[in-house]
Amino acid sequence: MFSDPRDRIGESCAVLATVQTELDNAYMDRAKGTLSDAQYAAIVNTAPTSLKALSMLVSHGLESQVGGLLEDTTITPPVVAGATFDPNGQPFQGDLRHAVAACSQNGTPMGVLVPGSG
């Protein structure tokens, strides 16, 4: 665990970037027809677990943003059968934008990795 607050925020940004990458890629693959609804739901359902694990770290960065995202996974109704929430819903996307801004301000911008982009 990092002691410098900027490093702790950077660590949280890395985890959030992974969550965002998984969700965005699943959304794109489902739209292309290369991922079934059940597969998409399974990926969506990993996000709350990752966010919960991050929130359980003794002193992670972005406490309010991570807490907001975790709460959003419980209040945003799913639009795909089997999913626990809608990651494209306004609450989750709004809080994700806040997290992206905080990461950028910290000097640890979040990016989404697209498969096959190198």
The confidence score (pLDDT) of residue 114 equals: 64
The predicted model gives 17-38 an average pLDDT of: 96
* Pair of tokens at residue 7: 């490093």
pTM for the complete prediction?
Answer: 0.88
Answer yes or no: are the C-beta atoms of 40 and 26 closer than 8 Å. yes
Q: Which residue type, as a one-letter code, is found at position 46?
A: T
Residue 96 vs residues 17, 24, 35, 86, 99: alpha-carbon distances, Å:
10, 12, 23, 13, 5
The confidence score (pLDDT) of residue 7 equals: 80
